[in-house]
Chains A and B, each alone.
Chain A
């Protein structure tokens, strides 16, 4: 009897220990998919590519930094001359507005950018192997996916190089902790060269038409790539190439300027994906952007006091005659709220739950004005003026802000272009880059552009310091965040931030 019980017990123990081990010791996560199980079909690639866009809309779960669109807004506007602090502005934000920047300022963290860059790198690295596993994945389809990843990565590096100048260039996916993270910076020129290279490849691989309007305006098309090319060629002083890239967009029947009308604002901004749109970050009612909070509910940023008067002009004789882009399109007069992302039409705000206004990366007018800028640099000022005149006609710009210039007045046309860009792209994250690009051309021949903008943003008691700082080109770029310097010993801080 005793032996029988012992035998049964022994068998039972053997059974339990032998059978349960497998499941118990499994290290696979229960709430996710590991790489070995992913990258099997073209649907997997599609999911990863859409994930890239998604990471630009809002930060992934578990990450607490700001959204990409808010960084794009801040890098493009805080240091420029059209913005004022709101009641809820943070100390870091105010320091950047006042040109009082130190490396420990949290807004100089580029983590959000490199996170999305890594998503792009992952697609570029791992997608090609799927072709062997999924016979339904055609080479064209694969190329299309690669084009999207390449173009987004290029745009992000382009933005980083415009903001920080020299940044580490990581072009392969981070797959394990054993990867080398100690990457030194590449110079701005090297980054721009890589961006141009990536965009060329992306253009070859690119999609012209996804078949539906939302995808055509919300995903990378060849036209979005051409717009990026025009932009980066302007930064690298390749003006003929910029004109060529812009012309490809202008030739397409998909894009046109929408003339001023009572629903112009609703069409172009509140609804988005209009005939003027080339690339927009597609916020939806179930995935809202950060803007309603920072511009309306707890305003961190307001429009500068004089923006309405100085930038758009006011017709004192006839208040109803106004630039369609000014009052209640960019700015709410009086309260100085930034209206572009919180308005529904020329009268009504959006409600919080409906505040899904997109972030506009490229609009048709941008391509037109970039072409004008390139033409002006190519000594074809009159053509540039014609482009401006046509845009102004469509926007019902006031005579007050018109300038009567001859085609040879290159410097004045540059100023006029900058003014027009200020009106057209108010609070679209472009102003500081526009000022910097034009100021630094020809070895900082037009530094005065930045000094002028610097004065307007500076506190009266710090004005002289701000001017002296801006005379150093190193100060035009943000510092590498202290945290990054701690973790990556190969980085060298911008010498201005000593």
Chain B
């Protein structure tokens, strides 16, 4: 002690200071251990008494602890009134009276294992299935002037997009119910579909539609979509009994035979996959259970029209889908209603002359497209995607195509003036990284065998060979963009040229343009197909393409020819 006192005053002071600090620091500091106080889904339910009954369901089915784990879930939470209404509907007084399996199904139907906010809702199904496996469908409805977003048509969302720690919840005013009837049962119990049911039974498709949902080895579900026809629609077309239908359609007198026309008539109305109206509205062609037959679909204002197509310049009016009653979910698919009778159309192969410039991306350049004056307009990758797409980066300015047209009346040896319509599709740099593969959606091609001729404006250098693919299958012959047209009309007759896979497609003819037979294709479905051009060279100049001809093999391959610098066809 004495020694301490003998220490110099400065040291003594320091000692006192440190002792003081040591005592002070002893008190424990409260540390916040969480960075986020947001509740998880189950905690949120416990904190809100309005949803206690749904929490009870989760507790009874042991989903409560699961919904409190980390993850990205979407839960549709029915209010207590909704659950009570459900109990009244099934005639129970408390949740404990309901079989556990039903409660499990209900709980799983309300939960998705991905975060889905209302901004990504469409008129159809939510892209993620519920944990139950059934898809939920969304939409919006207006009741008494008040609009709300709906789930499975019946339940309205009363509060949406509540962000919680492990996902997002939406509050709904009705319990969602699992669809437990098959398509066949749903159709059979609708008295307006009695004739349709009879036809289904007569052709054996009824059993097909009555099968429970299965999954194949690739985990693809066996969902089906049915385009049903009511008795009124049949009556309008003149059919009131099954016998009348048989008399009209059944050409083999055995509707059970898959090749019989009545069987095809029915299978043409059954689409593989789960296709809600929102899916149909955005798919141009629907594959059907009738082998190789497709239904074309298109959206005209707010009506979905089936088989509303232009063939050879003539509009064939289609039938509309009755939107108000369609989108009926069944356990193994979805049911729609059409407003008119429709059947498979028998068509003979017809030639298709597809000008590369006849694509939506160019057609919307209304002030220059096919106008008399010269025109040039770039289309960047960011604006493509309707009828044409190519590989490249949207940020790359060189990754572009252009509409290139010479003024009418320009000498055909000048620029692109020798092409049909005096216009071409120009690919700025047809090469790796900017645009190596360019894919076009063709007009509708009727099924059959066709020869494919591709015409282009030749350039002497900086270009090379192009491979052609039809629906992803490479065609045997390549095009050489250096190669000009043969003008030795006396020495090389057209038939000789044709046998070598060339022709003088334009008239009047110059060596600036050329046409090459790239192969023969077998088009299996009447639909729009994909034609892809693939560059085999490192282009240093722009490539110019005029048109592609799909000519049925039995047709004259030389005529009609195409007017150079004009839009006409030249027959002999």
A→B interface (CB under 8 Å): 87, 95, 100, 102, 104, 305-306, 308-309, 314, 319, 327, 333-336, 455, 459-475, 495-496, 498
Partner of A472, one of B121, B147, B368, B379: B147
Q: Are B142 and A473 in contact (CB under 8 A)?
A: no
A100 to B122, CA, bound (A): 10
Please give, as numbers and ranges, the residues of chain B lying within 8 Å of A466 by CB-CB distance.
Answer: 140
Interface 0/1 of B323-367, CB less than 8 Å to A: 100000000000000000000000000000000000000001111
A102-B160, A314-B367, A498-B160 known; A465-B122 Cβ under 8 A: yes
Answer whether residue B209 sits at the interface, using C-beta atoms and an 8 A cutoff: no
Answer whether residue B123 sits at the interface, using C-beta atoms and an 8 A cutoff: yes
A459 to B394, CA, bound (A): 22
A104-B161, A468-B142 known; A319-B281 Cβ under 8 A: no
Answer whether residue B85 sits at the interface, using C-beta atoms and an 8 A cutoff: no
List 12 additional contacts besides A471-B145, A472-B145, A496-B146; criterion CB under 8 Å: A87-B394, A102-B119, A333-B365, A333-B367, A461-B122, A461-B282, A462-B123, A464-B140, A467-B140, A473-B145, A498-B158, A498-B159
Most buried by A among B117, B124, B302, B380: B302
A314 to B370, CA, bound (A): 13
In the complex formed, the residue of B with least CB distance to A496 is: B147
A305-B364, A468-B141 known; A498-B302 Cβ under 8 A: no
A327-B367, A333-B366 known; A474-B139 Cβ under 8 A: no
A423 to chain B, nearest CB (A): 16
Q: Are B149 and A465 in contact (CB under 8 A)?
A: yes
A336 to B378, CA, bound (A): 12
A482 to chain B, nearest CB (A): 10
Q: Are A468 and B139 in contact (CB under 8 A)?
A: yes
A221 to chain B, nearest CB (A): 39
B157 to chain A, nearest CB (A): 7
A141 to B373, CA, bound (A): 60
Residues from 98 to 148 in B contacting A, C-beta threshold 8 Å: 117-119, 121-124, 138-142, 145-148
A152 to chain B, nearest CB (A): 34
A298 to B77, CA, bound (A): 42
A498 to B140, CA, bound (A): 13
In the complex formed, the residue of B with least CB distance to A100 is: B119
A464-B139, A464-B140 known; A102-B146 Cβ under 8 A: no
Answer whether residue B69 sits at the interface, using C-beta atoms and an 8 A cutoff: no
Q: Are B367 and A471 in contact (CB under 8 A)?
A: no
Q: Are B123 and A463 in contact (CB under 8 A)?
A: yes
| CB-defined A-B contacts under 8 Å, sample of 14 | A87-B394, A306-B364, A314-B366, A333-B366, A333-B368, A334-B365, A461-B124, A461-B278, A462-B122, A464-B278, A468-B140, A469-B142, A498-B158, A498-B159
Please give, as numbers and ranges, the residues of chain B lying within 8 Å of A333 by CB-CB distance.
Answer: 365-368, 377
A496 to B149, CA, bound (A): 10
Interface residues on B, range: 35 or more
Please give, as numbers and ranges, the residues of chain B lying within 8 Å of A87 by CB-CB distance.
Answer: 380, 382, 394
A102-B119, A308-B367 known; A462-B278 Cβ under 8 A: yes
Answer whether residue B2 sits at the interface, using C-beta atoms and an 8 A cutoff: no
Residues from 259 to 299 in B contacting A, C-beta threshold 8 Å: 277-279, 281-282, 299
Q: Are A319 and B367 in contact (CB under 8 A)?
A: yes
A466 to B281, CA, bound (A): 15
Answer whether residue B301 sits at the interface, using C-beta atoms and an 8 A cutoff: yes
B328 to chain A, nearest CB (A): 15
Please give, as numbers and ranges, the residues of chain A lying within 8 Å of B323 by CB-CB distance.
Answer: 464
Please give, as numbers and ranges, the residues of chain B lying within 8 Å of A100 by CB-CB distance.
Answer: 118-119
Residues of A contacting B: mostly: loop
Most buried by B among A306, A334, A461, A473: A334
Q: Are A467 and B139 in contact (CB under 8 A)?
A: no
Answer whether residue B371 sits at the interface, using C-beta atoms and an 8 A cutoff: yes
Please give, as numbers and ranges, the residues of chain A lying within 8 Å of B378 by CB-CB distance.
Answer: 335
A455 to B145, CA, bound (A): 19
Please give, as numbers and ranges, the residues of chain A lying within 8 Å of B372 by CB-CB distance.
Answer: 319
B572 to chain A, nearest CB (A): 31
In the complex formed, the residue of B with least CB distance to A98 is: B119
Please give, as numbers and ranges, the residues of chain B lying within 8 Å of A462 by CB-CB distance.
Answer: 121-123, 278
Please give, as numbers and ranges, the residues of chain B lying within 8 Å of A467 by CB-CB distance.
Answer: 140, 302
Q: Are B366 and A463 in contact (CB under 8 A)?
A: no
Q: Are B148 and A498 in contact (CB under 8 A)?
A: yes
A267 to B481, CA, bound (A): 49
A495 to B140, CA, bound (A): 15
A66 to B379, CA, bound (A): 30
A495 to B157, CA, bound (A): 12
Q: Are A472 and B367 in contact (CB under 8 A)?
A: no
Q: Are B377 and A334 in contact (CB under 8 A)?
A: yes
Residues from 151 to 197 in B contacting A, C-beta threshold 8 Å: 157-161
A377 to B379, CA, bound (A): 45
Please give, as numbers and ranges, the residues of chain A lying within 8 Å of B118 by CB-CB distance.
Answer: 100, 102
Please give, as numbers and ranges, the residues of chain A lying within 8 Å of B301 by CB-CB distance.
Answer: 455
B459 to chain A, nearest CB (A): 24
Please give, as numbers and ranges, the residues of chain A lying within 8 Å of B373 by CB-CB distance.
Answer: 319
Partner of A335, one of B117, B124, B377, B394: B377
A467 to B324, CA, bound (A): 13
Please give, as numbers and ranges, the residues of chain B lying within 8 Å of A468 by CB-CB distance.
Answer: 139-142, 147
7 cross-chain pairs, A with B, having the tightest CB-CB distances, nearest first: A472-B147, A468-B140, A461-B278, A465-B140, A333-B367, A471-B142, A334-B365
In the complex formed, the residue of A with least CB distance to B144 is: A472
A470 to B147, CA, bound (A): 8
In the complex formed, the residue of B with least CB distance to A463 is: B302
A306 to B282, CA, bound (A): 20
Please give, as numbers and ranges, the residues of chain B lying within 8 Å of A95 by CB-CB distance.
Answer: 119
A306 to B149, CA, bound (A): 30
Please give, as numbers and ranges, the residues of chain A lying within 8 Å of B380 by CB-CB distance.
Answer: 87
A453 to B436, CA, bound (A): 39
A464 to B124, CA, bound (A): 10
In the complex formed, the residue of A with least CB distance to B365 is: A334
A138 to B158, CA, bound (A): 58
B363 to chain A, nearest CB (A): 10
Please give, as numbers and ranges, the residues of chain B lying within 8 Å of A336 by CB-CB distance.
Answer: 364
Please give, as numbers and ranges, the residues of chain A lying within 8 Å of B141 by CB-CB distance.
Answer: 468
In the complex formed, the residue of A with least CB distance to B156 is: A498
Q: Are B117 and A102 in contact (CB under 8 A)?
A: yes
In the complex formed, the residue of B with least CB distance to A306 is: B364
Q: Are A465 and B139 in contact (CB under 8 A)?
A: yes
A458 to chain B, nearest CB (A): 9
Q: Are A455 and B371 in contact (CB under 8 A)?
A: no
Residues from 28 to 44 in B contacting A, C-beta threshold 8 Å: none
A102 to B120, CA, bound (A): 11
A79 to chain B, nearest CB (A): 15
Q: Are A464 and B146 in contact (CB under 8 A)?
A: no
Most buried by B among A314, A336, A498: A498
Interface 0/1 of B378-393, CB less than 8 Å to A: 1110110000000000
A109 to chain B, nearest CB (A): 17
Please give, as numbers and ranges, the residues of chain A lying within 8 Å of B371 by CB-CB distance.
Answer: 319
A11 to chain B, nearest CB (A): 29
Q: Are A474 and B146 in contact (CB under 8 A)?
A: yes
Q: Are A464 and B123 in contact (CB under 8 A)?
A: yes
B289 to chain A, nearest CB (A): 24
In the complex formed, the residue of A with least CB distance to B327 is: A464
Please give, as numbers and ranges, the residues of chain A lying within 8 Å of B377 by CB-CB distance.
Answer: 333-335
A213 to B403, CA, bound (A): 45
Q: Are B121 and A465 in contact (CB under 8 A)?
A: yes
In the complex formed, the residue of B with least CB distance to A310 is: B366
A72 to B394, CA, bound (A): 30
Please give, as numbers and ranges, the residues of chain A lying within 8 Å of B157 by CB-CB distance.
Answer: 498
Please give, as numbers and ranges, the residues of chain B lying within 8 Å of A306 by CB-CB distance.
Answer: 364
In the complex formed, the residue of B with least CB distance to A467 is: B302
B179 to chain A, nearest CB (A): 20
B383 to chain A, nearest CB (A): 8
A50 to B194, CA, bound (A): 77
Q: Are B281 and A461 in contact (CB under 8 A)?
A: yes
A305-B364, A461-B281 known; A471-B123 Cβ under 8 A: no
Please give, as numbers and ranges, the residues of chain A lying within 8 Å of B277 by CB-CB distance.
Answer: 464
Residues from 14 to 57 in B contacting A, C-beta threshold 8 Å: none
